[in-house]
Amino acid sequence: MDNLTHSLVGLAAAKAGLERLSPGATAVSVLAANGPDIDILATLGGKWFYLHHHRGITHSVVGTLALALFIPALFYAVDLLVGRIRKRPPRVRFLGLLVVSLVVSASHPLMDWTNNYGVRPFLPWDGQWYYGDLVFIVDPWLWLVVGGAAFLLTSARRWQVIFWAALALVLTGLFLFARLESWGLLHANIFRALWVAGVVGLVVLRLTRLVQPWGSKVALAALAFVVVYWGGLAIAHRRALSEAESVLSAALTQRGETAVRVAAMPTLADPTRWLCVAETERATYRFFVSIVDGADGVSGEMAQFEKPRGREAAAVSRASEDERAQIFLDFARFPATRVAGDCLSDLLVQFADIRYTEPGTPRGGTFSLEVPVACDALVED
């Protein structure tokens, strides 16, 4: 998940009652919620170094636990040092901070598991990826509900109101003016209307102070919503996967192919529309399905990416020896390849993870890669 979501969950967890365990608990909660993303420092080594280490050891059970211990220990040490300088006793309670950090740190890899990017929880012993395929990498509904609860509970001061107003304006402006259709959102205006209505509703609740007597129960309700929301998405995911398998059964029978694996993955802000990817012995397929009653199965065309054969397969095999390609293929869940050019000019092997892009797509970032191959190095199988 994005860091805004992690931060809002950390803040909501603090306001739900964890802040009472020690002074400084709120700050520890927000930091612990984001702790595993310290792997952003890997960008200093370049994008492929970052891809190799992102959601790596810091998102594993061992790494998350280490960070959960380090953050409160650092807070306690700083408070102890400041206390000695100012000649006062320590103010923070280490055990309280430790409990906060352990609870909230666990939320980070759990929430990251829920999307289709995946986590590797058993590093350094096992590098296998695990995918929840429930929540899109950015989920505005989580922002609205969890962020709304945090806003209602932390907007007593002028600077807090200014902060929340600025955040709401930025996000609302983004949703109103961005081309959400390019993210696969079919009914963008309906989403925009629901988002604006949600923001206005939160402002009304804040001005009327209707939820003020509830206190920490507001944050508890928001966190409970997250769990219920995941449950609803799990049901939707199961239905989408069933729909995808049904669509594939009809399509692949005509082509004489058999699905080796199938996945249904969430799309932005629409729990009824799912991105499906399937691999057969000859190709990989990418398409969308709708789980709404009355929808006619596949939404749009079914994209097909043939697996290379003969000399093209030899080119792909050669390109796969490139260090960047090895990192990419270790990350890619559904890699697709395309051989472009020829031996008279430049022979390029294009890799892409079709969860996110297609081979040869410009600006594919770390989700695509082009590797030049020398023709005289090819040996056809």
Q: Determine the pLDDT at residue 251.
A: 84
- Give the mean pLDDT of 331-336: 93
Q: Are strands 368-372 and 335-340 parallel, antiparallel or unpaired?
A: unpaired
- Give the mean pLDDT of 281-295: 84
| Sequential DSSP letters for 102-148 | HHHHHHHHHHHHTSSS-B-TTTTT----B----S-SS-HHHHHHHHH
Q: Determine the pLDDT at residue 111.
A: 97
- Give the mean pLDDT of 85-105: 92
Q: Determine the pLDDT at residue 295.
A: 54
Residue 379 scores a pLDDT above 80:
no
CA distance 203 to 207: 6
Q: Determine the pLDDT at residue 364.
A: 59
Average pLDDT, rounded, for the chain: 90
Coil/strand/helix, residue 346: coil
- Give the mean pLDDT of 357-364: 76
CA distance 368 to 381: 25
Task: Provide the residue count of the chain.
Answer: 381
- Give the mean pLDDT of 330-335: 93
Q: Residue 372: which of 330, 312, 315, 334 has the closest Cα?
A: 315
- Give the mean pLDDT of 159-169: 95
How buried is residue 342: exposed, middle or buried, by Cβ count under 10 Å (0-12/13-18/19+)?
exposed
- Give the mean pLDDT of 158-185: 91
The pLDDT > 90 percentage for the chain reads 68
Coil/strand/helix, residue 300: strand
| 112-156 pLDDT tens trace | 999 999 999 999 999 999 999 999 999 999 999 999 999 999 999
Q: Determine the pLDDT at residue 181.
A: 81
When pLDDT is cut at 50, 70 and 90, the band that residue 297 belongs to is low
When pLDDT is cut at 50, 70 and 90, the band that residue 376 belongs to is low
- Boundaries of every domain in the chain: 1-132, 234-294, 310-377
When pLDDT is cut at 50, 70 and 90, the band that residue 381 belongs to is very low
Contacts of 190 (CB under 8 A, 6+ apart): none
| 251-277 pLDDT tens trace | 888 888 888 899 999 999 999 999 999
For residue 154, the 8-state DSSP code is S
Q: Determine the pLDDT at residue 250.
A: 83
